[in-house]
Structure 1
Amino acid sequence: MAVTTFHDFPLAPRDREWDGAAAEKRVRAWADAQDKPTPRYRDAHIWYDAGSKQNFTAYKLLFTDIANGRQVAVPRAIMAAGNIMQGSRGGIDLPEPDITRVKNHLAKYYKKMGETAP
C-alpha cells in the first residue's frame, strides 16, 4: 500500500468542473497508460496498492486532470477526495497507516487553495 509523493502540481481554476471519468481518460492518454499504469498515471492519484500497481483498479483518489498538455490538480477533485476521506459516498477502504498520510497529502493542496482541510 502506498501514498503517492506530493508533487505540488499547479492548481486548475477553482471553477473547473470535475468529471472523474473524463479526467481518467485524459490522464491515461497523457501518461501513455493505455495498456497498464505508468509512473505518470500513478502520480495523478493520491493512493495506490503497491502490490497490484500493474492493475488500474489499484489506484484511488484521482485528483489531477490534463489542461493544455499539463497535469494540474483540480480543486473540486481535491475537495471530493477530502469528503471521501471523511466518509461521504461510503468512504474509502484504506489501510489504517495510510489514512493520515493521505489526509496530509490532501491538506497540502487545501492549504495551496487557501482552505482548511476537513
Structure 2
Amino acid sequence: MTVTRFQDLPLADRDREWDAAAADKRVRKWADAEDKPNAKYREAHIWYDADNADEFGAYKLPFADVVGGELKAVPRAVIAAAGIMDGARGGIDIPKEDVEPVKRHLAKYYAKTGETPPWER
C-alpha cells in the first residue's frame, strides 16, 4: 500500500469541472498506459495498492487531468478526494497508516489554492 510522492503539479483553473472517468481516459492516453498502469499514470493519483500496481483498480483518489498536454491537479478533484478522506461517500478503504500521509499530500494542494482542508477546519 502506497501514498504517491507529491509531484507539485500545476493547478488547473479553479472552475474546471471534474469528471473522473473522462480524466482517467485522458491520463491513460497521456501516460501511454492504455493497457496497464505505469509510473506516469500513477502521478494522477494520491494512493495505490503497490501489490497490485499493474491493475487499474489498484489506484484510488485521482486528482489530476491532462490539460493542454500537461498533467495538472484539478482543484475540484482535490476537494472531492479530501471529502472522501473526511468520510464523504462512505470514506475510503485504505490502511490506517496511510490516512495521515494521504491527508498531508492533499493538504499541500489545498495550500496551493489558498484554502484549508476540511479536517483542519
Is 1:105 paired with 2:113? no
Q: Give the TM-score, by structure 2 length.
A: 0.97
1:97 maps to amino acid? E
CA RMSD of aligned residues (A): 0.4
SS of 2:17's equivalent in the other structure is coil
Q: CA deviation at 1:90?
A: 1.1
- 1:35 matched to which residue of 2? 35
- 2:87 matched to which residue of 1? 87
What is the CA–CA distance in structure 2 between the aligned matches of 1:57 and 1:11, rounded to whole Å? 25
Q: Give the TM-score, by structure 1 length.
A: 0.99
Could you list the runs of 5+ residues in structure 2 that have no partner in the other structure? none
Q: CA deviation at 1:7?
A: 0.6
SS of 2:14's equivalent in the other structure is coil
- TM alignment of 1:1-118, pairs within 5 A: 1-118=1-118
Could you list the runs of 5+ residues in structure 1 that have no partner in the other structure? none
Q: CA deviation at 1:68?
A: 0.6
SS of 1:10's equivalent in the other structure is coil
Deviation beyond 2 Å, 4+ runs, structure 1: none
Q: CA deviation at 1:3?
A: 0.2
Q: CA deviation at 1:84?
A: 0.2
What is the CA–CA distance in structure 1 between the aligned matches of 2:96 and 2:69, rounded to whole Å? 35
What is the CA–CA distance in structure 2 between the aligned matches of 1:92 and 1:102, rounded to whole Å? 11
